[in-house]
Amino acid sequence: MGLEDKIRRVTPYTPGEQPKGAGIIKLNTNENPYPPSPMVREALEAAAAGGKTDELRLYPDPAASDLTCAIASAYGLSPEEVFVGVGSDDVLAMSFLTFFNSDIPILFPDITYSFYDVWAELFRIPYEQVPLDDNFEIRAEDYRRENGGIVIANPNAPTGALLRPEEIEEIVRSNPDSVVIVDEAYIDFGGISALPLIRKYENVVVVQTFSKSRSAAGLRIGWAMAGKKLIRYLSDVKYSFNSYTMNRPSIEIGTACVRDGAYFRECCAKIRATRERTAEELRGLGFAMRDSSANFLFVTHPEVPAETIFEELKARGIYVRWWNRPRIRNHLRITIGTDDEMRTLAAALGDILGKTV
């Protein structure tokens, strides 16, 4: 056996481009266009003024207790029902390692967050991708069969489609012997969280993130909410992998961020309003799309290929997301930016299509 035969190789997740330079409009990675809570700035300034940089020589609290308690308080939970990690990607990866440990394939949609199959391949977890229907929607009945676990992004990405609470509950109730992970990265932009289900069922884990609705993608904070037993199992795996995953500044700044509920709700409302205005404008240009419950739109045009529009926008310094993948290669995912950014986008699309906004 040669050297190459002993190395684990996978096809990695491909993140959106990170363009640099002045004048770029970046609508390709679903970041929040607004700054974090003013409490974040205050926390940063207080840390610098108080000489807390000296504490960086010390390991952080492995339980991230201040942040865990703040999240628990905000969501009406006990700290033992919350697990925090370095972004929801870290939380989801730990969840895959913890909860998907059988020879029976796990289930997730064929069109969804493309990290799921990467983790399954990396951790040698058997999986099946369940096709969305012709409207790019998840059918709860497709998940009523034997499985090693289930992952559902709700709202789904990149489609923005939302399952109703009763549909999520049907999936959870129909699979009592499997853990069902509900990835709610975008839930704050539309829809109702599955969080109440953790008190009703012992097999559900709800995952959320600071990266989208809380304007803190750079902090890398995500968390899971579940019954105490599942959180304990998840923590055991985390401590066996890396005890000190969350750094000191992120714990402190994240705690300040989660406490500013009013600012969080204000930003989400602005994004929802801009999303609806932009959807109306794009429909006026001939784009087709379903209603979105996320901070992005998933669009297609009947006359001009998505790849052509993607390249034309990029040449104008506007970045959106396009995948050369079956079923969705003629679609674009467009993050909702500020009102000014979306007006510039609409004008550019009108120019590309030869139409007036």
Mean pLDDT, consecutive 10-residue segments, the chain of 357 residues? 82 80 92 93 78 80 94 97 96 97 97 96 97 95 97 97 96 98 97 97 98 94 98 96 87 92 95 98 96 97 97 97 95 98 97 83
Sign (positive/negative) of CA torsion 312, 315, 318, 322?
Answer: positive
* Dist. CA 88–CA 84, nearest whole Å: 8
| 337 and 201 within one domain | no
| 89 and 103 within one domain | yes
| 243 and 179 within one domain | yes
Tokens of residue 258, six digits: 């989660």
| 163 and 90 within one domain | yes
| 59 and 24 within one domain | no
pLDDT score recorded for residue 11: 81
- pTM listed for this prediction: 0.94
| 245 and 144 within one domain | yes
Number of domains in the chain: 2
pLDDT score recorded for residue 297: 98
| 309 and 225 within one domain | no
The enclosing domain of 162 has a CATH number of 3.40.640.10
The enclosing domain of 21 has a CATH number of 3.90.1150.10
| 288 and 232 within one domain | no
User: What range does the domain containing 343 cover?
Assistant: 4-36+262-353
| 49 and 86 within one domain | yes
Helix segments in the chain, DSSP class H: 38-49, 65-74, 87-99, 115-122, 165-173, 228-241, 248-259, 261-284, 306-315, 339-353
Amino acid at 121: E
| 134 and 10 within one domain | no
Last residue of a domain, one of 213, 228, 259: 259
| 197 and 309 within one domain | no
| 18 and 63 within one domain | no
